[in-house]
Copies of this chain bind each other. A is one copy, B any other.
């Protein structure tokens, strides 16, 4: 089944567009997983701790939000043991009924691009992601092999268009029209062949909430493209700043929160709460915030 249709159905079923980023910053994990940041501990034990923490988050996310987004960098810090933790986390999230967007931001040319698509969307068995993030810098011939994999497997892509970091304009704003707009028009075009019954494509775009005006403009330009919106929460944007990214009815966009959910226990106001209780409250607060904000659309 087409990825765009699957994510749309999951969003409708859960009644919210919240995406939980699984970013296991070793230094931020709760004390009970402290072995993860101990370089003298066996790496397999460290990776196991990362996995256990994330399985706890998945338990909280399941049935509440449509999807999770594991970030590969933090797993890669633990080498092959981290790769095993990644596989287990992805598989468990899918078993729990969550869609999984692998935040890998890969890019390469020709057969190498295809190999990345196969790695994350085709060859990994029960650890296949439903979609991955990809970087457009290399051009259309670096994305086409990935689109072919999506076409075969009902998987999706989110192409970086405008990222949420403060310095994203350095290259993304270059030229007239700005590079971002050129990338956006290509993404919309690349997605034409993979549109689902919902009218949106399986080829999505990453557009940061930290540039709310641009988000609205890009939403116009990307009229059949689902958005993945980072920048909410710890990065500074509120639900209001993301509204320009949605289609009527609160469709067509997912908003990510990573640190704000996973490390909610570190906030002063959650002092004394168990990390699970703090994370659950943060998930419920985010969901309520979006239900309210999207109700006004």
Interface positions of A (Cβ within 8 A of B): 23, 25, 39, 71, 73-74, 76-84, 86-87, 105-113, 115-116, 118-120, 123-124, 127, 135-142, 160, 163-172, 174-176, 179, 182-183, 186
Contacts and interface: CB of A to CB of B under 8 A. Distances in A.
A165 B183 contact: no
B170 A186 contact: yes
Given A107-B105, A160-B137, A179-B179, A77 B123 contact: yes
B140 A170 contact: yes
A166 B179 contact: no
A228 to B, nearest CB: 14
A278 B123 CA distance: 31
A87 to B, nearest CB: 6
30 contacts: A71-B108, A73-B108, A73-B116, A73-B119, A74-B112, A74-B115, A77-B118, A77-B119, A77-B123, A79-B119, A79-B127, A80-B81, A105-B106, A105-B107, A109-B163, A110-B165, A137-B137, A137-B163, A137-B172, A138-B160, A138-B167, A140-B170, A141-B167, A142-B163, A142-B165, A171-B179, A171-B182, A174-B174, A174-B175, A179-B179
Q: In the A-B complex, list the 9 residue pairs whose CB atoms are closest, starting with the nearest.
A: A175-B175, A141-B167, A73-B115, A139-B170, A83-B83, A76-B119, A80-B83, A109-B165, A139-B167
B76 A116 contact: yes
Contacts of A176: 175
B76 A109 contact: no
A56 to B, nearest CB: 21
Given A87-B80, A174-B182, A112 B163 contact: no
B119 A140 contact: no
Nearest to A259: B111
Contacts of A164: 109
Contact of A112 (B71, B112, B113): B71
Nearest to A113: B73
Contacts of A123: 39, 77-79
Contacts of A141: 165-167
